[in-house]
Structure 1
Protein backbone atom coordinates (compact mmCIF):
# COMPACT_ATOMS: atom_id res chain seq x y z
CA UNK A 1 0.00 0.00 0.00
CA UNK A 2 1.35 3.40 -1.02
CA UNK A 3 0.11 6.62 0.55
CA UNK A 4 0.56 9.74 -1.56
CA UNK A 5 0.02 13.39 -0.71
CA UNK A 6 -2.37 15.55 -2.73
CA UNK A 7 -2.09 19.34 -3.12
CA UNK A 8 -4.59 19.67 -0.23
CA UNK A 9 -3.37 19.54 3.36
CA UNK A 10 -4.23 16.22 5.07
CA UNK A 11 -5.91 14.73 1.96
CA UNK A 12 -4.24 11.53 0.70
CA UNK A 13 -4.42 9.02 -2.14
CA UNK A 14 -4.09 5.39 -1.10
CA UNK A 15 -2.83 3.07 -3.81
CA UNK A 16 -2.91 -0.62 -2.97
CA UNK A 17 -0.25 -3.14 -3.88
CA UNK A 18 -2.15 -5.70 -5.94
CA UNK A 19 -1.14 -9.35 -6.11
CA UNK A 20 -2.56 -11.07 -9.18
CA UNK A 21 -2.38 -14.62 -10.48
CA UNK A 22 -4.55 -17.07 -12.40
CA UNK A 23 -7.07 -17.14 -9.51
CA UNK A 24 -7.69 -13.38 -9.52
CA UNK A 25 -6.22 -10.72 -7.25
CA UNK A 26 -5.66 -9.81 -3.61
CA UNK A 27 -4.82 -6.49 -1.99
CA UNK A 28 -4.80 -4.87 1.43
CA UNK A 29 -7.47 -2.17 1.15
CA UNK A 30 -6.46 -0.30 4.31
CA UNK A 31 -3.96 -0.62 7.15
CA UNK A 32 -4.69 1.71 10.08
CA UNK A 33 -1.20 1.42 11.57
CA UNK A 34 0.61 2.27 8.29
CA UNK A 35 -1.81 5.10 7.57
CA UNK A 36 -1.29 6.71 10.99
CA UNK A 37 2.51 6.29 10.74
CA UNK A 38 2.62 8.03 7.35
CA UNK A 39 0.05 10.79 7.94
CA UNK A 40 -0.07 11.28 11.70
CA UNK A 41 -3.87 11.19 11.34
CA UNK A 42 -6.39 8.90 13.00
CA UNK A 43 -7.43 6.14 10.63
CA UNK A 44 -10.07 4.53 12.82
CA UNK A 45 -13.41 4.09 11.03
CA UNK A 46 -16.80 3.37 12.62
CA UNK A 47 -19.30 3.35 9.74
CA UNK A 48 -19.28 1.98 6.18
CA UNK A 49 -21.69 3.23 3.51
CA UNK A 50 -22.31 2.03 -0.04
CA UNK A 51 -24.20 3.84 -2.79
CA UNK A 52 -25.16 2.77 -6.30
CA UNK A 53 -25.73 5.45 -8.92
CA UNK A 54 -26.20 5.74 -12.66
CA UNK A 55 -24.37 7.88 -15.21
CA UNK A 56 -24.71 11.61 -14.56
CA UNK A 57 -25.56 11.35 -10.87
CA UNK A 58 -23.64 13.93 -8.88
CA UNK A 59 -23.64 13.57 -5.10
CA UNK A 60 -22.27 16.52 -3.20
CA UNK A 61 -20.73 18.63 -2.04
CA UNK A 62 -21.46 17.41 1.51
CA UNK A 63 -19.81 17.56 4.90
CA UNK A 64 -20.60 17.01 8.55
CA UNK A 65 -19.50 19.79 10.88
CA UNK A 66 -18.83 20.27 14.58
CA UNK A 67 -18.60 17.26 16.88
CA UNK A 68 -20.12 15.09 14.14
CA UNK A 69 -17.47 15.97 11.51
CA UNK A 70 -16.39 12.98 9.47
CA UNK A 71 -13.22 11.93 7.71
CA UNK A 72 -13.93 9.54 4.84
CA UNK A 73 -11.98 6.92 2.98
CA UNK A 74 -13.70 6.53 -0.37
CA UNK A 75 -13.37 4.13 -3.28
CA UNK A 76 -15.25 2.93 -6.33
CA UNK A 77 -16.11 -0.77 -6.26
CA UNK A 78 -17.77 -0.88 -9.68
CA UNK A 79 -17.63 1.58 -12.56
CA UNK A 80 -15.93 4.96 -12.66
CA UNK A 81 -16.42 8.22 -10.73
CA UNK A 82 -14.73 11.56 -10.48
CA UNK A 83 -14.21 12.11 -6.77
CA UNK A 84 -13.85 15.68 -5.48
CA UNK A 85 -12.60 16.98 -2.13
CA UNK A 86 -12.79 20.68 -1.17
CA UNK A 87 -10.93 22.06 1.84
CA UNK A 88 -13.53 24.00 3.86
CA UNK A 89 -11.37 24.46 6.98
CA UNK A 90 -11.13 28.25 7.30
CA UNK A 91 -7.79 28.04 9.14
CA UNK A 92 -6.18 25.77 6.51
CA UNK A 93 -3.55 26.99 4.03
CA UNK A 94 -5.54 25.20 1.30
CA UNK A 95 -8.96 26.62 2.28
CA UNK A 96 -11.25 26.89 -0.75
CA UNK A 97 -9.04 24.68 -2.92
CA UNK A 98 -10.26 21.45 -4.46
CA UNK A 99 -8.74 18.24 -5.73
CA UNK A 100 -10.27 15.60 -7.98
CA UNK A 101 -9.27 12.04 -8.74
CA UNK A 102 -10.79 9.40 -10.96
CA UNK A 103 -11.65 6.36 -8.87
CA UNK A 104 -12.45 3.15 -10.70
CA UNK A 105 -12.98 -0.51 -9.97
CA UNK A 106 -9.90 -1.13 -12.12
CA UNK A 107 -7.43 1.30 -10.53
CA UNK A 108 -8.60 0.48 -6.97
CA UNK A 109 -7.40 3.88 -5.74
CA UNK A 110 -8.88 5.38 -2.60
CA UNK A 111 -9.04 8.97 -1.40
CA UNK A 112 -8.80 9.94 2.24
CA UNK A 113 -10.96 13.04 2.77
CA UNK A 114 -10.25 14.61 6.18
CA UNK A 115 -12.72 16.21 8.57
CA UNK A 116 -13.70 19.71 7.50
CA UNK A 117 -13.70 18.90 3.79
CA UNK A 118 -16.62 19.01 1.41
CA UNK A 119 -16.91 15.85 -0.63
CA UNK A 120 -18.75 14.76 -3.73
CA UNK A 121 -18.52 12.62 -6.82
CA UNK A 122 -19.93 12.41 -10.32
CA UNK A 123 -20.64 9.10 -12.03
CA UNK A 124 -18.82 8.78 -15.36
CA UNK A 125 -19.75 5.17 -16.20
CA UNK A 126 -23.15 3.59 -16.89
CA UNK A 127 -23.41 2.74 -13.18
CA UNK A 128 -21.09 2.92 -10.18
CA UNK A 129 -20.97 1.41 -6.72
CA UNK A 130 -19.21 3.73 -4.30
CA UNK A 131 -17.86 2.94 -0.84
CA UNK A 132 -17.39 5.39 2.05
CA UNK A 133 -15.64 4.48 5.30
CA UNK A 134 -16.36 7.16 7.92
CA UNK A 135 -14.58 7.90 11.19
CA UNK A 136 -17.72 9.28 12.87
CA UNK A 137 -21.41 8.47 12.78
CA UNK A 138 -23.76 10.39 10.49
CA UNK A 139 -25.86 13.12 12.11
CA UNK A 140 -28.48 14.77 9.90
CA UNK A 141 -28.50 18.05 11.89
CA UNK A 142 -24.74 18.47 11.35
CA UNK A 143 -24.83 18.08 7.57
CA UNK A 144 -24.12 21.10 5.39
CA UNK A 145 -23.50 21.38 1.69
CA UNK A 146 -22.07 23.61 -1.01
CA UNK A 147 -23.62 24.04 -4.46
CA UNK A 148 -22.04 21.59 -6.90
CA UNK A 149 -21.58 24.18 -9.67
CA UNK A 150 -20.32 27.03 -7.48
CA UNK A 151 -18.95 29.92 -9.53
CA UNK A 152 -16.05 30.55 -7.13
CA UNK A 153 -14.87 26.94 -6.85
CA UNK A 154 -15.19 26.22 -10.61
CA UNK A 155 -15.03 22.44 -10.22
CA UNK A 156 -14.79 20.46 -13.45
CA UNK A 157 -17.03 17.45 -12.80
CA UNK A 158 -16.21 15.98 -16.24
CA UNK A 159 -19.92 15.89 -17.12
CA UNK A 160 -21.97 18.17 -19.34
CA UNK A 161 -24.26 20.22 -17.07
CA UNK A 162 -27.24 18.88 -19.05
CA UNK A 163 -26.36 15.31 -17.94
CA UNK A 164 -26.07 16.11 -14.21
CA UNK A 165 -28.66 14.42 -11.98
CA UNK A 166 -29.02 15.93 -8.48
CA UNK A 167 -31.05 15.22 -5.37
CA UNK A 168 -33.59 17.88 -4.38
CA UNK A 169 -31.32 18.75 -1.43
CA UNK A 170 -28.29 19.29 -3.68
CA UNK A 171 -30.25 21.52 -6.07
CA UNK A 172 -30.69 24.12 -3.32
CA UNK A 173 -27.30 24.00 -1.60
CA UNK A 174 -25.77 27.38 -0.71
CA UNK A 175 -22.80 28.82 -2.56
CA UNK A 176 -19.26 28.61 -1.24
CA UNK A 177 -19.46 32.27 -0.10
CA UNK A 178 -22.76 31.60 1.72
CA UNK A 179 -21.51 28.37 3.29
CA UNK A 180 -21.86 27.74 7.00
CA UNK A 181 -18.93 25.44 7.55
Structure 2
Protein backbone atom coordinates (compact mmCIF):
# COMPACT_ATOMS: atom_id res chain seq x y z
CA UNK A 1 0.00 0.00 0.00
CA UNK A 2 1.48 3.36 -1.03
CA UNK A 3 1.86 6.04 1.58
CA UNK A 4 -0.12 9.21 0.95
CA UNK A 5 1.51 12.48 1.95
CA UNK A 6 -0.55 15.66 1.89
CA UNK A 7 0.90 18.97 2.90
CA UNK A 8 -1.20 21.92 4.02
CA UNK A 9 -1.05 24.66 1.39
CA UNK A 10 -2.82 27.94 0.84
CA UNK A 11 -1.96 30.95 -1.24
CA UNK A 12 -0.55 32.63 1.88
CA UNK A 13 1.82 29.85 2.85
CA UNK A 14 2.21 26.23 3.84
CA UNK A 15 -0.22 26.12 6.79
CA UNK A 16 -3.29 28.19 7.49
CA UNK A 17 -5.96 27.67 10.11
CA UNK A 18 -9.35 29.25 9.50
CA UNK A 19 -11.73 28.97 12.40
CA UNK A 20 -11.93 25.41 13.65
CA UNK A 21 -10.71 23.67 10.50
CA UNK A 22 -7.36 23.15 8.80
CA UNK A 23 -7.22 24.23 5.16
CA UNK A 24 -5.88 21.83 2.52
CA UNK A 25 -4.99 23.22 -0.91
CA UNK A 26 -2.51 20.72 -2.41
CA UNK A 27 -0.04 22.25 -4.86
CA UNK A 28 -0.99 19.78 -7.61
CA UNK A 29 -4.52 21.28 -7.76
CA UNK A 30 -5.34 24.67 -9.26
CA UNK A 31 -5.15 27.57 -6.80
CA UNK A 32 -8.66 28.16 -5.44
CA UNK A 33 -10.35 31.52 -5.80
CA UNK A 34 -13.14 32.14 -3.29
CA UNK A 35 -13.14 28.62 -1.82
CA UNK A 36 -10.73 25.98 -0.51
CA UNK A 37 -10.26 22.45 -1.85
CA UNK A 38 -10.58 20.84 1.58
CA UNK A 39 -11.04 21.60 5.24
CA UNK A 40 -10.25 19.09 7.97
CA UNK A 41 -12.46 19.26 11.04
CA UNK A 42 -10.78 19.00 14.42
CA UNK A 43 -11.21 15.82 16.45
CA UNK A 44 -14.22 16.01 18.74
CA UNK A 45 -15.97 18.79 16.83
CA UNK A 46 -19.77 18.79 16.57
CA UNK A 47 -21.13 18.62 13.02
CA UNK A 48 -24.09 20.85 12.10
CA UNK A 49 -25.94 20.16 8.84
CA UNK A 50 -27.74 23.26 7.55
CA UNK A 51 -30.63 22.61 5.18
CA UNK A 52 -30.88 24.53 1.93
CA UNK A 53 -31.86 28.13 2.57
CA UNK A 54 -33.36 30.56 0.06
CA UNK A 55 -34.38 34.21 0.19
CA UNK A 56 -37.90 33.24 1.23
CA UNK A 57 -39.44 35.39 3.95
CA UNK A 58 -41.27 34.08 7.03
CA UNK A 59 -44.15 33.03 4.78
CA UNK A 60 -41.75 31.25 2.40
CA UNK A 61 -42.33 33.70 -0.44
CA UNK A 62 -39.37 35.10 -2.36
CA UNK A 63 -40.02 38.81 -2.96
CA UNK A 64 -36.85 40.05 -4.69
CA UNK A 65 -35.83 39.04 -8.20
CA UNK A 66 -32.32 40.47 -7.69
CA UNK A 67 -29.67 37.75 -7.72
CA UNK A 68 -27.26 39.40 -5.23
CA UNK A 69 -30.10 40.30 -2.85
CA UNK A 70 -31.34 36.70 -2.87
CA UNK A 71 -27.82 35.41 -2.27
CA UNK A 72 -27.43 37.77 0.71
CA UNK A 73 -30.72 36.67 2.29
CA UNK A 74 -29.99 32.97 1.74
CA UNK A 75 -26.52 33.34 3.28
CA UNK A 76 -28.01 35.29 6.21
CA UNK A 77 -30.41 32.41 6.84
CA UNK A 78 -27.57 29.86 6.76
CA UNK A 79 -25.62 31.98 9.26
CA UNK A 80 -28.70 32.31 11.49
CA UNK A 81 -28.84 28.52 11.82
CA UNK A 82 -25.09 28.30 12.53
CA UNK A 83 -25.33 31.04 15.19
CA UNK A 84 -28.41 29.45 16.75
CA UNK A 85 -26.33 26.30 17.29
CA UNK A 86 -23.58 28.33 18.98
CA UNK A 87 -21.31 28.72 15.96
CA UNK A 88 -19.95 31.49 13.81
CA UNK A 89 -19.20 31.88 10.09
CA UNK A 90 -15.65 30.52 10.45
CA UNK A 91 -17.11 27.18 11.60
CA UNK A 92 -18.62 26.51 8.16
CA UNK A 93 -16.51 23.83 6.51
CA UNK A 94 -18.54 23.07 3.39
CA UNK A 95 -21.10 24.96 1.37
CA UNK A 96 -23.11 24.17 -1.75
CA UNK A 97 -24.72 27.01 -3.69
CA UNK A 98 -27.50 26.06 -6.09
CA UNK A 99 -28.37 28.63 -8.76
CA UNK A 100 -31.00 28.63 -11.49
CA UNK A 101 -29.11 31.02 -13.78
CA UNK A 102 -25.34 30.60 -14.09
CA UNK A 103 -24.90 33.66 -16.34
CA UNK A 104 -26.72 35.80 -13.72
CA UNK A 105 -24.34 34.43 -11.08
CA UNK A 106 -21.34 35.36 -13.22
CA UNK A 107 -22.71 38.86 -13.86
CA UNK A 108 -23.27 39.43 -10.12
CA UNK A 109 -19.85 38.19 -8.93
CA UNK A 110 -18.62 41.65 -7.86
CA UNK A 111 -21.77 42.22 -5.78
CA UNK A 112 -21.60 38.67 -4.41
CA UNK A 113 -18.01 39.26 -3.32
CA UNK A 114 -19.09 42.30 -1.32
CA UNK A 115 -21.96 40.32 0.25
CA UNK A 116 -19.55 37.49 1.10
CA UNK A 117 -16.89 39.71 2.69
CA UNK A 118 -19.50 41.55 4.79
CA UNK A 119 -20.67 38.26 6.32
CA UNK A 120 -17.84 35.74 5.99
CA UNK A 121 -14.82 38.07 5.80
CA UNK A 122 -11.93 36.05 4.31
CA UNK A 123 -13.21 32.61 5.38
CA UNK A 124 -13.63 30.32 2.38
CA UNK A 125 -15.04 26.83 3.03
CA UNK A 126 -14.86 23.95 0.59
CA UNK A 127 -17.53 24.92 -1.92
CA UNK A 128 -19.50 23.75 -4.90
CA UNK A 129 -21.67 25.80 -7.24
CA UNK A 130 -24.38 23.85 -9.05
CA UNK A 131 -26.74 25.13 -11.73
CA UNK A 132 -30.22 23.58 -11.44
CA UNK A 133 -33.33 23.93 -13.59
CA UNK A 134 -35.42 25.15 -10.66
CA UNK A 135 -35.79 25.37 -6.90
CA UNK A 136 -38.80 24.42 -4.76
CA UNK A 137 -39.72 27.98 -3.77
CA UNK A 138 -41.22 29.88 -6.72
CA UNK A 139 -39.02 32.82 -7.72
CA UNK A 140 -35.95 31.51 -5.88
CA UNK A 141 -32.75 32.01 -7.86
CA UNK A 142 -30.33 30.81 -5.16
CA UNK A 143 -30.32 28.14 -2.44
CA UNK A 144 -27.42 27.58 -0.06
CA UNK A 145 -26.78 24.54 2.14
CA UNK A 146 -23.84 24.12 4.48
CA UNK A 147 -22.06 21.91 6.96
CA UNK A 148 -20.41 23.49 9.97
CA UNK A 149 -18.10 22.00 12.58
CA UNK A 150 -18.64 23.59 15.97
CA UNK A 151 -16.19 23.34 18.86
CA UNK A 152 -16.72 20.34 21.12
CA UNK A 153 -17.27 22.57 24.14
CA UNK A 154 -20.52 24.45 24.65
CA UNK A 155 -23.84 24.01 22.97
CA UNK A 156 -26.82 26.05 21.96
CA UNK A 157 -28.95 27.44 24.77
CA UNK A 158 -32.51 26.24 25.17
CA UNK A 159 -33.73 29.56 23.73
CA UNK A 160 -31.66 28.91 20.59
CA UNK A 161 -33.07 25.43 20.02
CA UNK A 162 -36.31 24.64 18.26
CA UNK A 163 -38.96 23.11 20.52
CA UNK A 164 -39.58 19.46 19.82
CA UNK A 165 -36.19 18.89 18.18
CA UNK A 166 -35.40 15.26 17.35
CA UNK A 167 -32.07 13.72 18.35
CA UNK A 168 -29.65 12.75 15.57
CA UNK A 169 -29.30 8.98 15.33
Smaller-chain TM-score bracket: 0.3 to 0.5
Which structure has the bigger radius of gyration?
A: 2
Give the structure-2-normalised TM-score.
Answer: 0.34
